[in-house]
């Protein structure tokens, strides 16, 4: 992706960015490319008419108590959980700044993930961990540094046994059992050792998820090459960027979904200064990081996408619109998508067809540039789909789309025939 740096700069300057444009211009793919180039942790949601404040921020959800009775419990939504993770990362970075450095990469990695796990347990995002056998045990953190396994009272001996799970011991065990398979071979009757194995297993899983993400980033060679200067300057001592992607943002009832977050997501009020009391604030526990109000940390960025023709931009509240930077993505901006998927000859023909078709669509009264056709439609000409068959692409996708565009016009059939002629004539043009 060319010029990805400009998108990164725009996002960093504004914190919130809307990518808007015609269907098929690769807005969602671009949002993910931006996040990968920033080496960000990513969360992806798609708004729709039924999406709610409960899904996004927090709300009451049905649950069963210990007796199997159904009740309701306040639970965080996907965005609030994402913000908690971002805050936990910032805390981990601060802890690791003063941590002694070693040449053992595994030790460094385990230390990082152990601190992340500590923060999650301290914030009660994680309350139990599964043993390798599948059984669960409760965990808690009192001092913000050490994990404890909750066993309760030993009735026969009359005392409470809650063993600590220290990083020092975990690191020693990791030398003998450095991966999943070796951990599964542990044979012990000791409950404490089984607990350590379970926690170590979780740390390995956390590490694996990050490594898979890094592998995905590495595979995106063009993004890396075009934006190496951004990647090179990223410091481990800086909080990791967290990018929250909202696909089809204008399909949801935004006032209801965001609620009081209109204020908190404002670029000028990120962090504690933008703290707001949520609708369920009185139900938030004292140990929760948002016990005194919810805020969006400054290492959280929001990228939203929308098609202009799905719903008018004017339907989006001005209060929300002014908190986002807006970038129109044109079909010609995303032609690199075609060169990545198609052979040179098919790519050249596809570009010729798309350019000619969009020129005519833009000039048609009642349509315009918002109705242009993006390169994503032409990516179906790859070997896995229509293998360069432009007729099949027209019959199965392009014609159907254009009919929908033109159905409100009295001369829809005539207009469609004009566009069809341009489509196929441009295939034989040199």
pLDDT given for residue 80 in this prediction: 94
Cβ(243)–Cβ(38) below 8 Å: yes
Query: In the predicted model, is pLDDT for residue 413 greater than 70?
Result: yes
pLDDT value of position 370: 85
The 136-140 sheet, strands edge to edge: 128-130, 136-140, 147-150, 164-165
C-alpha neighbours within 13 Å on the C-beta side of residue 17: 27
Say how many CA atoms lie within 13 Å of 412 toward its Cβ.
12
What are the tens digits of pLDDT across the range 44-60?
Answer: 999 988 999 999 999 98
Query: Residue 379: is its pLDDT beyond 50?
Result: yes
pTM of the complete model: 0.67
- Candidates 371, 329, 377, 383; CA nearest to 350 is 377
The model's confidence at residue 112, banded by pLDDT at 50, 70 and 90, is confident
- Residue by residue, DSSP assigns 295-354 as ---TTEEEEEEEETTTS-GGGS-HHHHTTSEEEEE-GGGGTHHHHHHS-HHHHHHHHHHH
Domain boundaries, the chain: 4-283, 332-428
What six digits make up the tokens of 59? 């709300």
> What is the Rg, in whole angstroms, of the alpha carbon atoms belonging to the chain?
26
Mean pLDDT of 103-114: 62
Flag whether pLDDT at 235 surpasses 50: no
Q: Taking residues 261-268, report their average pLDDT.
A: 89
């Amino acid at each position: 992706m060319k010029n990805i740096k400009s998108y990164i700069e725009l996002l960093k300057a504004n914190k919130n960015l809307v990518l808007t444009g015609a269907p098929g211009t690769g807005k969602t793919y671009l949002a993910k490319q931006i996040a990968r180039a920033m080496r960000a942790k990513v969360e992806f949601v798609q708004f729709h008419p039924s999406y709610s404040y409960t899904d996004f921020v927090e709300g009451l959800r049905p649950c069963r108590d210990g007796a199997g009775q159904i009740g309701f419990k306040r639970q965080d939504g996907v965005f609030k959980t994402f913000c908690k993770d971002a805050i936990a990362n910032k805390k981990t970075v601060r802890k690791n700044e003063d941590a002694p450095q070693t040449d053992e990469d595994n030790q460094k990695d385990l230390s990082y993930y152990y601190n992340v796990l500590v923060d999650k347990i301290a914030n009660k995002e994680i309350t139990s961990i599964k043993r390798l056998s599948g059984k669960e045990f409760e965990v808690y953190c009192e001092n913000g540094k050490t994990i404890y396994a909750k066993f309760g009272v030993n009735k026969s001996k009359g005392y409470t046994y809650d063993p600590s799970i220290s990083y020092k011991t975990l690191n020693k065990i990791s030398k003998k059992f450095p991966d999943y398979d070796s951990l599964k071979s542990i044979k012990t009757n000791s409950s404490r050792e089984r607990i350590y194995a379970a926690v170590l297993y979780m740390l390995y899983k956390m590490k694996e998820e990050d490594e898979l993400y890094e592998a995905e980033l590495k595979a995106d060679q063009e993004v890396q090459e075009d934006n190496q200067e951004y990647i090179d300057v990223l410091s481990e001592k800086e909080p990791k960027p967290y990018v929250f992607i909202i696909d089809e943002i204008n399909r949801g009832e935004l006032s209801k979904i965001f609620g009081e977050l209109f204020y908190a997501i404002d670029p000028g009020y990120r962090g504690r200064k933008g703290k707001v009391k949520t609708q369920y604030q009185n139900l938030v526990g004292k140990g929760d990081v948002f016990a005194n109000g919810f805020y969006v940390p400054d290492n959280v960025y929001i990228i939203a996408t929308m098609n202009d023709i799905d719903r008018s931009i004017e339907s989006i509240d001005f209060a929300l619109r002014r908190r986002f930077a807006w970038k129109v993505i044109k079909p010609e901006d995303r032609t690199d998508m075609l060169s990545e998927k198609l052979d040179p000859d098919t790519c050249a023909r596809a570009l010729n067809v798309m350019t000619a078709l969009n020129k005519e669509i833009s000039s048609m009264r009642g349509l315009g540039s918002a109705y242009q056709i993006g390169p994503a439609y032409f990516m179906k000409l790859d070997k896995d789909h229509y293998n360069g068959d432009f007729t099949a692409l027209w019959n199965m996708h392009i014609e159907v789309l254009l009919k929908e565009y033109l159905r409100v016009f009295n001369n829809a059939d005539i207009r469609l025939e004009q566009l069809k002629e341009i489509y196929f004539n441009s295939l034989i043009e040199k």
